[in-house]
A and B are shown apart, each in its own frame.
Chain A
Amino acid sequence: DTEVTQTPKHLVMGMTNKKSLKCEQHMGHRAMYWYKQKAKKPPELMFVYSYEKLSINESVPSRFSPECPNSSLLNLHLHALQPEDSALYLCASSQEVLLQGANTEAFFGQGTRLTVV
């Protein structure tokens, strides 16, 4: 199983709503990521979790709140978003890289297309 599953596939929310994006993987990966991708642009890293702990926060506004309940799940809680937050949100995971020379690639989910109205 080399799959990262994201739900929902599409989400439309108002600026006062609270919603959550979900991501799940069963590959035993201990690093999980949230990326944001605007149309025709490369993905931009938002957060990295390593061993269920937040490792990297790329100065993301607090209206985005990540959560890693266990090693297989990653959530992104959304509150009071702005229309400019509309984008494709991608989750990814990768193996831990503890040894020099160990190689790993990140596996991406299909994304959640978020529209803020």
Chain B
Amino acid sequence: AQSVAQPEDQVNVAEGNPLTVKCTYSVSGNPYLFWYVQYPNRGLQFLLKYITGDNLVKGSYGFEAEFNKSQTSFHLKKPSALVSDSALYFCAVRDILRVDSSYKLIFGSGTRLLVRP
């Protein structure tokens, strides 16, 4: 079964410093990986995805993620954190595609990012 793991419940970083939010995956076949962000009492906003191609994926709001096949990781990064980046971040993997073209998104447990001023 497809799965993703986020080993850190919370990440603390000072504003202006680089940030990394970790995600590892376990899939059969080619991975379809996603990062979403959730602000308090809001829905999920799509940040970026990896399907194929370059291992460094650039997304919204200055975020990027590095796909590493040998380490089965897809860590989210940003060179310089902002206080407004403080939110809940979810890594997700697309489950096996069904014959009717529907699929399930399997989410990690989430990592709370706190950026200190």
- Give residues in A with beta carbon < 8 Å to B: 4, 6, 30-31, 33, 40-43, 45, 48-51, 53, 55-56, 88, 90, 92, 94, 96-98, 101, 103, 105-111, 113
Contacts and interface: CB of A to CB of B under 8 A. Distances in A.
A109 B43 contact: yes
B97 to A, nearest CB: 6
Interface stretch (B20-28, B70-78, B101-109): B101-109
A55 B98 contact: yes
Given A40-B110, A108-B44, A111-B43, A50 B51 contact: no
A76 to B, nearest CB: 15
Nearest to A113: B41
A22 to B, nearest CB: 14
A87 to B, nearest CB: 12
A97 B103 contact: yes
A8 to B, nearest CB: 14
Given A42-B107, A110-B42, A50 B52 contact: no
A98 B101 contact: yes
28 contacts: A4-B43, A30-B101, A31-B102, A31-B103, A33-B105, A42-B108, A42-B109, A43-B44, A45-B105, A48-B104, A50-B100, A50-B102, A55-B98, A56-B98, A56-B104, A90-B44, A92-B44, A92-B105, A94-B103, A97-B97, A97-B101, A98-B101, A101-B51, A103-B32, A103-B51, A106-B105, A110-B43, A111-B42
A88 B98 CA distance: 27
Nearest to B45: A108
B44 A31 contact: no
Contacts of B49: 103, 105
B90 interface: yes
Contacts of A42: 90, 107-110
A30 B100 CA distance: 10
